[in-house]
């Protein structure tokens, strides 16, 4: 499974906090990890993770 860079993790955490939509960062990360386990294989895992976080925090859980 591809590793997400520390800087990307920190950026994801900031995005969740700044959005203020009630999402738990660990829940979002868990959902992304489940997609990777299920076969999702992005070319750039860091970019895919940030895009995933942005999409999630755009709405309420």
Dump pLDDT digits (tens) for 7-41. 999 999 999 999 999 999 999 999 999 999 999 99
Residue 7 vs residue 2, higher pLDDT: 7
The model's confidence at residue 44, banded by pLDDT at 50, 70 and 90, is very high
Q: Residue 18: its pLDDT value, please?
A: 97
d(CA 49, CA 53): 6
Q: Residue 1: its pLDDT value, please?
A: 77
The CA dihedral of 59, 50, 19, 15, to the nearest 10 degrees, is 160
The three-class DSSP label of residue 24 is: coil
From the CA atom positions of the chain, what is the Rg in Å? 11
d(CA 21, CA 14): 13
d(CA 14, CA 26): 12
Q: Residue 16: its pLDDT value, please?
A: 98
């Amino acid at each position: 499974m591809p590793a997400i860079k520390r800087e990307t993790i920190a950026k994801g955490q900031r995005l969740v906090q700044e959005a203020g939509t009630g999402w738990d960062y660990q829940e979002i990360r868990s959902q992304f990890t489940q997609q990777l386990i299920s076969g999702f294989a992005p070319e750039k895992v860091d970019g895919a993770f940030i895009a995933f976080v942005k999409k999630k925090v755009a709405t309420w859980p």
